[in-house]
Structure formats: C-alpha cells, structure tokens
Structure 1
Amino acid sequence: RKYAARPSLGKALCDFLIYHNHNPRKAIELAAHATTLLQYEDWWWKSRLGKCYYMLNLYREAEQQLRSSLKNQKMISTYLDLCKVYLRLDQPKHALDVYKEALEEFPDETDLLLATARTHDMVYEQDLAMIYYRKVLQINPVCIEAIASLASNFFYLDKTEVALKFYQRLVEMGESSAELWNNLGMCCFHASQYDMTLSCLQKALHLAEDEVAAEIMYNIGQVGIGIGDLGLAYQSLKVAISINPKHGEAYNNLGVLELRKGNPKAARENFEMSRRLSPETFEPFFNGALFAFKVGDFQQSYALVKECKSIYENHTDTDELLQKLEKYLA
C-alpha cells in the first residue's frame, strides 16, 4: 500500500517485480492496491494486471483487465498483450480482429503490422501475411523479420530468384548467421547457381551449432543428389545422422542411396528408421512400399501405401502403385 500511493516509485517497482524478479503474484498485489487508489481509472496499472494474469495463465482475467485498460487509454503495447492472450487461448481470429481494431487507431505502427503478418502466417494465410510484410517494408525498409519472412514465402512459392534477392539484401545489411547462409545456399541451388551453393553452405557450417549443422549437412546431401555427386550426398547424410541421430529425412534419403549402391538390407532399415522418426512425412512410407513391391512383399507394400495415402492423398506415384497392388491382390 505504501508503494501504491507513490505512483512513480510504484510503477518502477511493479516492472522490477515482473521483468526482473518474475514474481507476478507480488506485482498483482501492488497493482491491485494502486488501481483501487486511483479509482480504477489508470490504464497503466490495469495493463500490468493483465500482464501478470497472463504470466499466471489466467487468460480470461488477463483479457478482462486489458480490455478495461483499452477503454481508459488505447495503447499499442496493450493491444499486443491482448492479442497474445487470444493466441494462447488458440483464438487467432479474435487476435486478428483486435489487430485490425488497433491498426485503425495506429495505421503505420510496424509492431502491429508485423504481429498481424505473423498471425496470418500461423493460420497458413501466406498471401495475407505477405501483404502485411510488404506494408512493414514500405515504412521500415530495413526490417529484418519482414525481409526474411518474404524471402521464405517466395522460396516456397517457387520464386527462388526473388527470394535470393531478399536474402542477398540481408547479407548486404550485415546480417550473418548459419540459418541465413543456409537459406541463401538453397536459393542458389534451386536457382541453378551451383557455383555459389556450396560456398554459402560452407559458411553456414562455420557458423552453425550442432542442431543446425545437421540440417545444413542434410541440405548438402540434397545438393549432392541434385548435381549427381552421390558420393558427396552419401557422406553428407551420414554426417547429418551422426550429428542428429533423430533426423528422419536424412535416413530416408540415405535409404535411397543405399538401394542404388546395392545394399537392400541397409535401405530397408533406413526406411523403417525414417518412418519411426518422421511419421508425418509420406516419402519413407512410399519408398518403403515401392521397395517391398519390388521384392515381392505385396502385403507390406499395400499397408505402407495406405499409410502414405492417409498422409498425402494426392500423390500420383502412390496412386499408380496402389492400382498395381490392387491388381496383384485381387
């Protein structure tokens, strides 16, 4: 109560309890006294109450306090905190509605635009996300998150040359990380700029920690397969697995290479390991089904094909293999 009656000191203490001590319960006690003393008219204390309730996973109470705070004073930080509450409640539509309301009050605020874009990305509305990322760049042309997100979206839209320009822009701005050089290398590869691909991936390896290094070695394996250097691909995938023994996609590709080397037993084991580690991907199921079909194990092949169909319904090669199996098993 003593600190609640002294606004400047009380606010500093409240933030200290939240951000330094991570003690939201004490902060709630202080904020509640201060709010009562100020006759429930101070937006700042209400916003801190909302933040504390959020930290305690009391999301409905947090929503109530943040909305009350917005009635007293519309603030960007309060809008962002309210949207975080809705996202934790798994209500992205409500969060987008709040962002829209906030942007009517603060139309050129990049934090709100970025948060809106992230939320659209979260619900797989990439087209809308890209619109907001572009708006951010119109206001702040050096926003790293917007540039990187647009680059990623263009890459997955098969516009690798455009994505390459965005990643090059990040390098020109002085950014340097394993992830950036890895993405730049893969853009070069898909844009058929093979001379730059391996040098970019090599730089990525120099900057990478173990978990990221496994992904980079896997990508080098992909490059090796793409340019026909199966020796490089085989060695890279082996290294990826040695760094991360749970890399399911690497086991799948390694199985294909083992099959080409004439090692069917090793190929089968790799496909099985890939299915265990990456049950959400269809490739190891299809490769396992095709392998079983070629060795005459039609029952196993049929079971794996059905699994593959449940993961990826519109895979043409799976449909063709299923038709062949149905003829044999009819």
Structure 2
Amino acid sequence: MSSLAQQRDKRNYALHLLYTRQEFDECLKQIDKVLEETDGLCEYAIYIKALIMRHRGKIQESLQLFQQATAINPHNVANLKQVGRSLYLLGKHKAAVDVYEEAAKFGAPDWEIMHNKGLCFMYLKLYDRAIESFRVAIDIQPHDSTFLQLGKVYSMMDDYGQAINVYMEALEHSPENPEILTTLGLLFLRTNDNSRAFDYLSTSLTHDPRNPRTILAAGSIIQDHSDMDVALVKYRVAAVQTPNSPQLWNNIGMCFFGKQRYIAAIACLKKALYLGPFEWIISYNLGLVHLHTGQYASAFHYFSASVNLKPDFAHSYMYLAVTLARLDDFENACAAYEKAIQMAGAPGEPVFHLNYAILLYNQKQTDAARAHLAHFRSLFAELDEEARRADPEVAEQSALLGQLLGV
C-alpha cells in the first residue's frame, strides 16, 4: 500500500472515530481541514459531514452533501442510499424511489434499498408496489422492521387477515419481539378477538413489562371486563413511562366512571382533553359522564364536539339526541335520532329505535312511537341470547313502553 493511501486511510479512520464517539464539533473541524487540503474532493469526509448535518436536523444540507459525494463517486451504493434516505425524510418520496432504483443497479440485491422503496410506496399510497418491495426485502433478509411495515400496509388497506398472517410469520423469526406481539394483540383487539388479543399482549408484557402501548391495550381489555381496579394498577405503571398520554388519561377517567367516582372521572378526562384536544373519543366520554351526572348543557357541548371531530359515529348522535331531549329541544332531538338511525345503516341498532320511541311517546306521538317500538323488537329478536341479556334495563323499558302503548 502506498504511503498516500495509508495516509488517507488513517485520516478517514480518525474521522470515523470522532463520528462514532459523537464528537461532532471536533469532527467537523477536522473535515473542514481535510476538504481544504483535498480541494473539496474527499468523498468520505463529505459523507461523514452529511451524516452529522442530518443528525442535527439539517436534512436539505445533508442531501446536498450526499449528492456532492455521489458526484465524486457515482457508483458508490452507500452514497446513493443516503441520497434516497434524505429525499425520503424531506417527503420527496417519488424522487427517493428513482434514486433507490438507480442504487439497485449496482452490486448484490440489497435489503435496505427494497425496504426503503417500500416505505416510499407506502407514503405514496401505492400499496401493491409497497407490498411487493417489502416482500422482496424479506426474501433478501428477514427483518422485524420490514414485517412490521408490511403488516401496517395491509392494515391501512383494511385487510386485517393478511396483516395477522404477516405478524405470525414475523414471530417465527422473532418469537420474543414485544413490538410484534403488541401489534398482533392490537390487531386481534380490532377484529374483536379479545381473548387472543389478551394472550399476545400478556406475552409481550412478560418480555417488556413497562411498555406503555402494551399496558394501555391490555388495560383496556381488563377494563372492558369491568375489572377497574386491576386496570388502574396497570395504568399506574404506564403513567410513569408516558405521563402525557391522552389515551392513558382517557382510559383512567373511564375506569373511575365505571367505579362511579364521577368527579375523578371528569378530572382525568379533562386532563386527557387538554393533552389531546382533537381526540373525538375523549369528548364523547366527557359527554357520557356529564349526561350521567345530569349536567345536560355540558353533555351537549362535549357530544357536539365529538360529532364535529368524528361525524361518522352513530352513537354520538344517539346520545346527543338523549341530551337534547333532556334539554326539552324535541325538534333537534328527533333530528339527531333520525341521523343516528340513518348512520347505523342495516340492520340497525335496536336501542336507537327504543330511545326514539320513548321520546315520541313522551311527546304524545303514539303512532310513530309504535312504529319504532316494532322496529326495535324485530331487531332485538335477531340478537343472540348473550346480547339480549347484556343490559336487562333495555328489555324492561321495552316491556313498559309496550304496555303504555297497548302493544
């Protein structure tokens, strides 16, 4: 090896050492000296400077430096990959794909190139091409991150079955990865398979007992089974890790609501709303608590906010109708019930018709009340035994209204 080559390698090693130690200021000083000595033609020095710029959030500057390094050595795949990465971080996904495709022409098949191409296609909403790229990346080298992104694409396409298959495949390679276990648990939760969801979330917690995302999901299942005290113990652990999570405070608030501690529930939900003002479910839950405690004007305010944030959730309109009825606004209450029934679609929600029938009876509109009661009974009869017994008050109200209407 020539003395010139030795000197270059020694210099590059010194820069690498400073970079890996994160002594960035000293590293940049040395880089400036090197670039001055080499008339700005030292590829490695430019490459390291670009990495430092990106680390400091100067993405545009880093892109220009990586492009400069690529101009010096156009066939260096590492430079091209970094140009693609910078374009991706700048949101220029189509340009990034072009660069990755250029990089793929050199050398052996590269997992990183295919994975990053998949990410670009995902953000461009070209889901089929994203799936194809992620699959090629997995064939080159299975990585947990690629499995997670592939499953995410299927979830974005509402193809939960395929997403579950992908995460199951991922577990064959990494059976103890908490993130995969949690994501799988959340998918089962989304598909209403609560027992399997809880199994995977519990397994995830054995490997990472303080993961707030997993605790939140597991706690919500426990909460759904009305075991509020156990759920609150779980949430206490999560609160140490993520004290400013609106979802966490929302769940804590609903635990207190389940325990009939209404002041604590409102306090926690208001904290959640402060942390996440655009989370519709928090406004919805605040509406429920205020409705339950007879604060109808406040309930109206929160249900209205919930409807504005998520206009396609039928139950918000139903509870808004109940609130308006308590505020003696019959006309708008009827409009809200009509909207709720329309949004519920076929076959419909039985309780919407029952509540509407009660309102109509109270307003002496007995014929319309009978029609909605009949609709309720036909829908209620189609439910399974467990669903019919879930809330005994529904059957009681139906029987009482039937007697009053002579049905």
Q: Bin the TM-score by the shorter chain.
A: 0.7 to 0.9
Classify 1:177/1:303 alpha carbon distance in 2 versus 1 (closer, same or farther; 3 Å): same
- The separation in 2 between residues aligned to 1:206 and 1:49, in whole angstroms, is 38
- The separation in 2 between residues aligned to 1:244 and 1:71, in whole angstroms, is 45
- The separation in 2 between residues aligned to 1:248 and 1:97, in whole angstroms, is 37
Mean Cα displacement is larger for which, 305-314 or 8-17? 305-314
Shift of 1:303: 3.2
Shift of 1:327: 6.3
Classify 1:169/1:219 alpha carbon distance in 2 versus 1 (closer, same or farther; 3 Å): farther
Shift of 1:192: 3.9
Q: Indicate yes or no: 2:91 matched with 1:16.
A: no
- The separation in 2 between residues aligned to 1:64 and 1:160, in whole angstroms, is 44
**For 1:154-303, what aligned pairs fall within 5 Å after superposition?**
154-173=222-241, 175-193=243-261, 196-201=264-269, 203-204=271-272, 207=275, 209=277, 214-215=283-284, 217-224=286-293, 230=294, 233-240=295-302, 243=305, 247-255=316-324, 257-258=326-327, 263=328, 266-267=329-330, 269-276=332-339, 279-280=343-344, 282-294=350-362, 296-303=364-371
TM-score (norm 2): 0.66
- The separation in 2 between residues aligned to 1:194 and 1:186, in whole angstroms, is 9
Classify 1:300/1:110 alpha carbon distance in 2 versus 1 (closer, same or farther; 3 Å): same
Correspondence for 1:144 among 202, 212, 224? 212
- The separation in 2 between residues aligned to 1:285 and 1:4, in whole angstroms, is 70
Q: Deviations over 1:196-226 (max 9, x none)?
A: 44543454465563765733541431441xx
SS across alignment from 1:36: coil
Unaligned runs of 5+ in 2: 1-69, 309-315, 389-393
**For 1:304-323, what aligned pairs fall within 5 Å after superposition?**
304-305=372-373, 307-308=375-376, 313-314=382-383, 317=395, 320=399
Contact 2:185 2:200 survives alignment (8 Å): yes
Shift of 1:250: 4.2
Mean Cα displacement is larger for which, 57-66 or 76-85? 57-66
Classify 1:27/1:176 alpha carbon distance in 2 versus 1 (closer, same or farther; 3 Å): closer
Partner of 1:28: 97
Unaligned runs of 5+ in 1: 225-229
Identical counterparts, % of pairs:
22
SS across alignment from 2:213: helix
Which structure: larger Rg? 2
Contact 2:235 2:248 survives alignment (8 Å): yes
- The separation in 2 between residues aligned to 1:245 and 1:117, in whole angstroms, is 29
SS across alignment from 1:299: helix
Q: Which amino acid aligns with 2:197?
A: A
Mean Cα displacement is larger for which, 111-120 or 233-242? 233-242
Classify 1:89/1:271 alpha carbon distance in 2 versus 1 (closer, same or farther; 3 Å): same
- The separation in 2 between residues aligned to 1:198 and 1:47, in whole angstroms, is 45
Mean Cα displacement is larger for which, 86-95 or 148-157? 86-95
- The separation in 2 between residues aligned to 1:128 and 1:6, in whole angstroms, is 48
Mean Cα displacement is larger for which, 104-113 or 4-13? 4-13
Shift of 1:134: 1.2
Query: Which structure has the higher relative contact order (CA within 8 Å, separation 6+)?
Result: 1
